[in-house]
Structure formats: C-alpha cells, structure tokens
C-alpha cells in the first residue's frame, strides 16, 4: 500500500483555533476546534501554540508522515509571510516573527498565510476552478477579505499588503475604521455595519434574521448596492475569469444574492466585463480553513 503524507492544517481564528491532518486526497482526520484562549496561554503564546501542536502530533499523528504545517492567520503580514504586523484578535502575535518562533519546534516546513487566502485555495479545489487567469475572492464577514490571484499566484504586493479591498476610501465619509483611517469601505459593507443597522433601525429582529425578515426594506437594498461597489470596482480593474463570493454575511439566511448580482452587474462596465460575470458562491463550513491550508502547503512545498 502506498504511504500517505499528511499536512497539519491550522486555522487560527479570533475565537477558535481549528486543526487537523489532511492527506493528499484532502481527507481530513483528527479534526479539532478549540477555543483560542485554551491554546494561546501565558506570556509567550507562540511557545504555547507550538507546544500544543507538538502534543497534538504526538497524540494523533502516530506513524503518519507529516510533510508540513500550514496556518491561516487573520492578520497583516510581511511579504515573506514570517512577521505578523498587526493581529488585534490573536493574543501575542502582533509584531512577532511567528515563522521564526514556530519553525524550530518542527522537523518539516512551516507556512503562514492570510486566512482568506487559505479559504480561497479551498474554494478553488472544491469548485474545481483551474488556478490560472485572474480570479478574485471577496469574503464578507466582520470585514471584507479579499484575494486576487493572477496566473495561479495570489498577489502579495510590495510589502505583503495587497488586496486590502476593505480599506479603499469612500467619498465624503469620515468615520474611523479599525485600521485607523477615515471612511474605509469596510465600515459600510462589513458585518459590523449590519450589527449597527440592526441595532439602530431594526431592533425588532435578531441580527440572524436581518435579511430574511427585512430584506425588502430600502435600508437593506442600499446596503446591497454599497456592497456591490468594491466588488464591481475590482471587477472593472481586473476583468476576472471567476469571482468567488463568500463569508459569514452571505451565509446569513435569506441573503438576497440575486439582488447583489444585479447591483454588481449595474456597476460593472458594459459590455465587458459586465456580460461575462462568472460568480461562484463559497459555502462556508468550519473546516474550510484547515483544508485550504493543506492545499496551500502542498502547492508550496
């Protein structure tokens, strides 16, 4: 029998850390979802993470041959994906060379990437999208995550900071974004905005029911048009072959996908790229980040 190799895939989220072993056929085993605070403990949270992962391998890997560790992180990182500049939701990572801290604990390569890039890799695999041409991914959760892939390679930019679609400035807006700038798009299209809208305008429904119960209101319609603007902007710049849309906001019950598509079409340049919009919706499951991390590692090994 052919011996399998495994990737230890890790998805480091603001609330939970998910991990598992993934073989060449993308089968996941020994999957765990653990509250972040149970793993990132003490003064040196990188050391506690490394110790946790070593113990996990001792408990679960057994005779399995592990070829790499790949971790998705919701954070701005250096171009070489070693140093985390700013990770407000991940205890003890900001300003640290995470790669240098973790690598000595393991006899195989360690890879770090943006969490959205890992989700993007999983979506390419799951929807059998050839990894070539220009493909964009927009993931609308608390903020607006973005991946731009050109000829099979995600664009990282000069400083590792490309794809900050959520932080394009909006004309005439002066509210302060989490990044410190005024009037970023993310403040008007991300999940945080919806929470505010529900509190201020629709206190009679739970946030979960916002689209299913208030989807036909002018406020939600305006939201959908606003959300279409950064997506259509990127489409008009790049003329992508495929547009992946995903994230927690789109997964909410009753999210009006058709109307969002109509607005994306409305704001895309005619006849092209508007007449060739190829939109694929990403269905979010908890393990996507772990599986995507493994796919990313295999491509980069």
| Shortest distance in whole angstroms from residue 179 CB to Zn ion | 3
Nearest to 157 by CA among 146, 143, 171: 146
Integer Cα distance of 146 and 117 in angstroms: 8
- Is 7 a binder of Zn ion (CB under 5 A)? no
Stretches 13-21, 52-60, 165-173, 282-290: which one binds Zn ion (CB under 5 A)?
165-173
Contact flag: residue 179 with Zn ion (CB under 5 A): yes
Interface map 14-33 toward Zn ion (x if CB under 5 A): --------------------
Q: What is the DSSP string of 237-250?
A: HH--SEEEEESTTT
Q: Determine the Cα–Cα distance for residues 170 and 167; give it in Å rounded to an integer.
A: 9
| Residue 165 found at the interface with Zn ion (CB under 5 A) | no
Complex with Zn ion: residue 162 or 280, whichever CB lies closer:
162
Distance, CA of 201 to chain centre: 29
Stretch that binds Zn ion, among 119-127, 173-181, 242-250, 278-286 (CB under 5 A): 173-181
**Complex with Zn ion: residue 179 or 207, whichever CB lies closer:** 179
CB of 116 to Zn ion, least distance (A): 15
Instruction: Give the count of beta carbons closer than 10 Å to the beta carbon of residue 178.
Output: 15
* Beta carbons of 59 and 49 less than 8 angstroms apart: no
Which residue in the set 167, 194, 220, 249 belongs to the binding site for Zn ion (CB under 5 A)? 167
Distance CA 48, CA 41 (A): 6
CA dihedral 128, 74, 193, 228 (to 10 degrees): -30
Q: Which of residues 180-199 bind Zn ion (CB under 5 A)?
A: 181, 184
CB of 99 to Zn ion, least distance (A): 26
Cβ neighbours of 37 (radius 10 Å): 12
Select 59 or 175, whichever has its Cβ closest to Zn ion.
Answer: 175
Decide if residue 279 touches Zn ion (CB under 5 A): no
Nearer to Zn ion, 57 or 184 (CB): 184
Residue closer to Zn ion by CB (options 150, 179) is 179
What is the DSSP-derived secondary structure letter of residue 16? E
Query: Interface residues with Zn ion (CB under 5 A)?
Result: 167, 177, 179, 181, 184
């Amino acid at each position: 029998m052919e011996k399998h190799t495994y990737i230890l895939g890790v998805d480091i989220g603001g609330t939970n850390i998910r991990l598992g072993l993934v073989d060449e056929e993308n089968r996941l085993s020994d999957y765990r979802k653990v509250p972040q605070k149970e793993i990132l403990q003490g003064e040196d949270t990188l050391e506690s993470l490394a110790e946790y992962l070593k113990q996990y391998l001792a408990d679960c890997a057994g005779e399995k041959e592990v070829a790499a560790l790949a971790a998705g992180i919701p954070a701005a990182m250096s171009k070489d994906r070693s140093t985390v500049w700013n990770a407000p939701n991940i205890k003890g990572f900001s300003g640290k060379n995470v790669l240098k801290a973790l690598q000595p604990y393991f006899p195989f390569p360690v890879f770090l990437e943006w969490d959205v890039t890992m989700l993007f890799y999983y979506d390419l695999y799951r929807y059998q999208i050839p990894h070539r041409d220009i493909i964009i991914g927009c993931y609308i959760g608390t903020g607006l995550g973005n991946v731009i892939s050109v000829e099979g390679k995600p664009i990282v930019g000069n400083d590792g900071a490309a794809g900050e679609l959520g932080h394009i400035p909006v004309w005439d807006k002066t509210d302060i974004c989490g990044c410190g700038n005024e009037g970023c798009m993310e403040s008007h299209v991300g999940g945080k905005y919806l929470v505010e809208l529900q509190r201020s305008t629709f206190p009679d429904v739970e946030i979960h029911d916002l689209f299913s119960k208030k989807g036909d209101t002018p406020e939600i319609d305006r939201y959908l048009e606003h959300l279409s603007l950064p997506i259509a902007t990127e489409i008009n710049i790049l003329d992508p072959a495929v547009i992946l849309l995903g994230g927690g906001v789109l997964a909410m019950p009753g999210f009006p996908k058709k109307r969002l598509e109509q607005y994306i079409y409305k704001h895309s340049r005619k006849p092209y790229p508007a007449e060739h919009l190829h939109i694929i919706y990403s269905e979010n499951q908890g393990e996507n980040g772990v599986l995507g991390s493994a796919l990313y590692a295999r491509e980069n090994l």
